[in-house]
Structure 1
Amino acid sequence: MSNNVKVNDIFECLCRALSRDAKVNETSQEFSALNSNWERVDYSLKLIKKYKLSPKFETNKKNDLVSIQYRVQGNTEFNETNYQLALMFYTKSIAFATNNSKALGLAYANRSVVLLRKDFYAQCLKDIDRALNNQYPEDLAYKLELRRSKCKKPPRQQTELSYYNPPPIIEHPNQLINCASSSIKINKSEELGRHVLAVKNIPIGDVIAVEEPYSKLLLKDFIYSYCSNCLELCYDLIPCDGCIYALFCSEKCKESAWKLYHQYECPIITMLYHLELTKLNLLALRITLQARDIFGIIDKFNKNNKVYKSDSYEEIHFLEGNTHLRNSADLFPRSVTAAVIFNLLENHTDFIKDLKQPENDEKTVKELILRHLQTGPTNFHEISECREDYFGDFESSVETGAGAFSFMSLINHSCNPNVLRVCHGSKIVLRALRPIKKGEELLDNYGYHFAVNNKNERQRELKRQYFFDCKCEACEQNWPQFNNLQVRTKGFDINEDTLAALLHGDLVTAKKCLPLFQSKAQSSEDLRPCRVLASIQETIKRCYALFGNKSDRI
């Protein structure tokens, strides 16, 4: 196929070809008769090859001319004191510059000026050294040495890049769930499947779990501002030696990413982006790459392990994909997407060749890619931050990445949740948003809240994406949306100055007011649904969000 083809285009072209050849019914019957994910992918791959729908392979290589263009753009923004944009363009210039080139040295040097101007002296010194190690012109080296002396000249106050407060430590660890506190347990029933119950009363604000994802992915829009491996904000990123789409906060992250997954993503990353694969598509691929060393023992996995290890692929493997509820109209396009991904791995990377048992493991690769294309939409979580806008206000949740959090995925939905999630780096901290009684189920919100969405909308979207009919109290009692809620509680108003301070990201105000908000929410729980209670809960969520990932403008 031609350039600029998208993965959805491939599926649509395949459907048109089948229709033209009067093969739609036959194909549908054959596909419906398949029993495994790997067979569905294999079948789709044969159709793609039969109709010659494989996309033309492309790659964006390092290019010094493009690097220079971005550096010039950076200079323009710097002269206009648009330091945020200048930093991004200089980092793009670094990403596109060929290895050990003059263009790379100049890009590092120019970025060091921004870092100096914003008092990031430690980062500036690193970029100065990087410039000198990458063919920076000798006759200009004195400029860098002058810059170095400015960084070291006292008194100098280094600007600290405080992206998030350290995640809290779980004081009483759970012996059976390695990321959780002892206040909960995993339960199983025919009606609810696996779910999480409180084994004691949990007050508002208590830390229930702190989970690092098995696998995580940075969204494309943030690759020139955040580390592609740990997903943390970084102003002195270093590039991958082979591609222009992966940058890292350190050599340690760079080496870790290469060993874990990037050695196989690097040759095909341009195609992955050109095909416009979604974050869930890309995360399904990355999970499969990371799990390659245990392909041979997947059949021996035990879904009923006594200890739930959220850092293990085994737990990710058993997340619910609802395959039995999906029809061919759902599974066929996913299978085509998985086939396209597999085709890239097979023909343009060493992944298949490097597997321990290539012939047997090919089936496993196909199986897992499609498996996680199904588990992703119902289980994976966003990694987000509070972000400062041009007016100094902080948006409460800007998605920067996605992660496969197996324990968080066990928590069922409610349109009136009793837990909240906050990202600290790539970790998710789970806290009680409402008082949770012993024996009560922990309930998260999957994006459809009673105060924001009406019942019909919530029911429709939850059924479409998650395959269940919500029976939470807000749905059963048909609670009104926020503007139509009764006030009920009197004598408690959230001060406008307090709200303004929180909107501007004031951590001091958040720490000071949080205990009062939690106490009032605890005592008002029996008044739900209530407009004041809903407002207090949203304020509690904003306070905790400010302790997590928080990106200020420079």
Structure 2
Amino acid sequence: MNIYDIVDLILAKLSSNPALDIKLEIDDDIFVRIRNLLSGYKLFPNYEAYNLVKIDKCDDLAQQYREKGNDFFRKRKFFSALCAYNKSICFSKAHSENMGLAFANRSAVFYEIDEPHLCHANITLAKHHKYPSEKLLKLEERDKKCKASNSIKPKTSKLLQLTHKVNPKYPFIINCLSLKLNKEFGRHVVTTNILKAGNVIAIEPHFNGILLSDQVFKRCTNCLGQFNLNLLPCEHCVSAMFCSQHCKDEANKKFHKYECDMNLEGIGKFFTVAVRASMRTFIEALFIFDGIERLKNFLKEHKDIAFTAFDVDKSSSDQTYHQQLFMTLCSLCSNEERRSTVENFRRAIVCVILYEYLILNSSLQNILRSDENGKFFMNFMFKHIQIAESNFHELYSLKAEKMEQSNEQFGVGSFPFASLLNHSCLPNVFRLSSDGLNYVIVARHIEKGEQIFDNYGYHHSIHTLQQRRNGLVDRYQFNCCCDACVNNFPLFEELLEKDKDFDTFISNDLEEFEKFNTEKAERAIKRYSKYIENHDKNIPSYEITLIQECMLRCFRILERSKSMFNLNFIET
């Protein structure tokens, strides 16, 4: 069960009591009323029963996970082996022999997949963590072979770089993009130059990014990078790993010193991603403003100021820059006024349950225990949960251990620029996740003065008109009036074929994708971009839609190479 299942049970129990007249309206006393109800009728969940209490490190479990890793290793399932070894490392007590053994096991995987530098690094870690002296000879022999290796890493593709001059204030987007405001679209982004298919117009880092609970042992908690699973554990919890000492130190400063007290894996399964992301926003805000009092004062002083990525100045001081990024998040729409009273009341219950959990199970209790700070926190969460639901972006990558081109969600993130892009069921850009970065890539020709349109997960080639309308209203509270909706464009399998020479052009690409390397993907992108430009008048068509999907696949192949993903991970 997750948090909203619990909330529905609570509402059912309260509604079944005829003596209760529950006031659902969201007002200044809403959180006090809910807390009194839940406390008086003993309706707070048992946090331990839902696996929300911190799990201690345990050498017995560490050994079990390491033995699982050994089983995977013997079957040459290297990705699964590293996941198990990482779990063993996290559960090992600091500087224990178990940790040294798991690092040594990791070095064996990296040796097998031809990653000599990572192999050597893990041998060094094993030696520093009480690796048994009687087994050192085997490690030393492996290390000598690593040092003799001449393995060469591929270079990052030039196609994964911004293709126009960079915005001098916000250097993650190109300089020919500008923000407009009108009655029909509200805030929206247009281009002042012609953009062509395949152009990269944004490479934006997340302001706030979190991993899904099943990704804890696969990616860095701070930057969200995968780094071939060569990760370092938190010394104090079993729910976080980091790609480097720098990321570990940064995370501890910004948020992990509070999250370390919690069972993040359990929280990830119990609370929604939006709740977790909003909690992270609050914790990082404490760091940015050096405490809750300054945060409260800042929000009071800036409550009527709208701020966007186009107002951010990266050249400002580090604190000012991060305050500006925080303001862009606070300025996004929550759609609260468009939601029903019952929906808002359900979210208010979630905020109270989260607050109660934190004051009982985390060091945030020292900050939140007072009535004033508790009320501020719950109001903050109530707003930001809704902002996250409407504006945070899901992050995907190619499923790491599988050869087929399937996607796997690994997290969510807030991106100040990408959050400004409006939706279309026939978008002219697509997004690509690369660890903690969000790439925005042009999908078809865009004329000077045209608006940039993203897709919020409802595309005319995949979903019917009714499915799109229902989904967009339910999640984002708006009715779409794009060309695809007005003209009821067909699903992919019903699109007309308009190019008799297309089969010759596409050749064997669809069957060959799994064999594509960086060079083949780059060549294909250039061919596809040219085709889309030359056949723009055919949109919508079977050919253009298929080519756009092929181009996205090729960019994912380039991204996989950029993130140093080792193809030997692929398990058959």
Asked if the contact 2:217/2:241 (under 8 Å) is kept, the reply is yes
1:510 match: 521
Matched residues, percent identical? 27
Q: Distance in 2 between matches of 1:101 and 1:271?
A: 23
Partner of residue 464 from structure 2, selected from 454, 459, 472 = 454
Residue 100 of structure 1 aligns with an amino acid whose one-letter code is H
* In the alignment, structure 1 residue 410 sits paired with structure 2 residue 400: no
Moved more, 78-87 or 282-291: 78-87
1:56 match: 47
* In the alignment, structure 1 residue 345 sits paired with structure 2 residue 341: no
- Tell me how far 1:244 sits from its aligned partner: 0.9
- Tell me how far 1:518 sits from its aligned partner: 1.4
1:7 match: 3
2:316 match: none
- Tell me how far 1:432 sits from its aligned partner: 1.6
Partner of residue 309 from structure 1, selected from 305, 312, 318 = 312
2:258 match: 264
* In the alignment, structure 1 residue 215 sits paired with structure 2 residue 195: no
Residue 12 of structure 1 aligns with an amino acid whose one-letter code is D
- Tell me how far 1:306 sits from its aligned partner: 9.4
**Residues 325-367 of structure 1 deviation map (CA, whole Å, 9 limit, x = unaligned):** 1112211222222222222222322225358x96654333222
- Tell me how far 1:54 sits from its aligned partner: 3.9
1:377 match: 389
2:274 match: 280
**Residues 31-78 of structure 1 deviation map (CA, whole Å, 9 limit, x = unaligned):** 31x336xx5444433332222214234221100001111111222222
Distance 1:225 1:164, change over 3 A: farther
* In the alignment, structure 1 residue 298 sits paired with structure 2 residue 273: no
2:319 match: none
Q: Distance in 1 between matches of 2:238 and 2:464?
A: 44
Asked if the contact 2:213/2:269 (under 8 Å) is kept, the reply is no
2:338 match: 325
Asked if the contact 1:423/1:549 (under 8 Å) is kept, the reply is no
1:289 match: 283
Moved more, 168-177 or 517-526: 168-177
Residue 239 of structure 2 aligns with an amino acid whose one-letter code is Y
Asked if the contact 2:524/2:551 (under 8 Å) is kept, the reply is no
- Tell me how far 1:381 sits from its aligned partner: 0.6
Residue 527 of structure 1 aligns with an amino acid whose one-letter code is N
Distance 1:116 1:329, change over 3 A: same
Q: Distance in 2 between matches of 1:362 and 1:258?
A: 23
Distance 1:274 1:468, change over 3 A: closer
Query: Taking structure 2 as the reference length, what is the TM-score of the superposition?
Result: 0.88
Q: What does 1:145-544 correspond to in 2, within 5 Å?
A: 145-152=140-147, 154=148, 156-158=149-151, 160=153, 167-169=160-162, 171-174=164-167, 177-234=170-227, 235-270=229-264, 272-273=266-267, 276-292=270-286, 293-294=288-289, 295=295, 296-301=297-302, 302-303=305-306, 307-309=310-312, 312-354=325-367, 360-387=372-399, 390=402, 392-395=403-406, 397-493=407-503, 494-544=505-555
Distance 1:187 1:345, change over 3 A: same
Q: Distance in 2 between matches of 1:481 and 1:283?
A: 34
Residue 73 of structure 2 aligns with an amino acid whose one-letter code is F
Q: What does 1:136-147 correspond to in 2, within 5 Å?
A: 136-147=131-142
Q: Distance in 2 between matches of 1:350 and 1:410?
A: 35
- Tell me how far 1:258 sits from its aligned partner: 1.1
Distance 1:541 1:138, change over 3 A: closer
Distance 1:206 1:323, change over 3 A: same
Q: Distance in 2 between matches of 1:56 and 1:354?
A: 20
- Tell me how far 1:167 sits from its aligned partner: 4.5
- Tell me how far 1:198 sits from its aligned partner: 1.9
Q: Distance in 2 between matches of 1:162 and 1:219?
A: 29
2:12 match: 16
Q: Distance in 2 between matches of 1:483 and 1:528?
A: 15
- Structure 2 unaligned blocks of 5 or more: 290-294, 314-321
Residue 301 of structure 2 aligns with an amino acid whose one-letter code is K
Residue 468 of structure 1 aligns with an amino acid whose one-letter code is F
Residue 215 of structure 2 aligns with an amino acid whose one-letter code is F
Moved more, 170-179 or 328-337: 170-179
Distance 1:307 1:271, change over 3 A: closer
Q: Distance in 1 between matches of 2:82 and 2:113?
A: 11
Distance 1:11 1:65, change over 3 A: same
Moved more, 100-109 or 65-74: 100-109
Coordinate RMSD, CA, aligned: 2.6
**Residues 305-339 of structure 1 deviation map (CA, whole Å, 9 limit, x = unaligned):** 79422961000011111000111221122222222
* In the alignment, structure 1 residue 105 sits paired with structure 2 residue 118: no
- Tell me how far 1:168 sits from its aligned partner: 1.2
Asked if the contact 2:162/2:201 (under 8 Å) is kept, the reply is no
The alignment partner of 1:429 has SS state of strand
Q: Distance in 1 between matches of 2:198 and 2:267?
A: 40
Distance 1:375 1:119, change over 3 A: same
Residue 298 of structure 1 aligns with an amino acid whose one-letter code is L
- Tell me how far 1:402 sits from its aligned partner: 0.9
Distance 1:101 1:318, change over 3 A: same
The number of residues matched between the two structures is: 539
Query: Taking structure 1 as the reference length, what is the TM-score of the superposition?
Result: 0.90
Moved more, 88-97 or 171-180: 171-180
- Structure 1 unaligned blocks of 5 or more: none
Q: Distance in 2 between matches of 1:432 and 1:97?
A: 46
The alignment partner of 1:208 has SS state of strand
Residue 8 of structure 1 aligns with an amino acid whose one-letter code is Y
Residue 467 of structure 2 aligns with an amino acid whose one-letter code is E
- Tell me how far 1:272 sits from its aligned partner: 4.5
Q: Distance in 2 between matches of 1:358 and 1:515?
A: 60
Distance 1:214 1:463, change over 3 A: same
Asked if the contact 1:42/1:366 (under 8 Å) is kept, the reply is no
Q: Distance in 2 between matches of 1:172 and 1:361?
A: 45
Residue 529 of structure 1 aligns with an amino acid whose one-letter code is P
The alignment partner of 2:260 has SS state of helix
Asked if the contact 1:179/1:309 (under 8 Å) is kept, the reply is no
Q: Distance in 2 between matches of 1:285 and 1:242?
A: 20
* In the alignment, structure 1 residue 45 sits paired with structure 2 residue 40: no
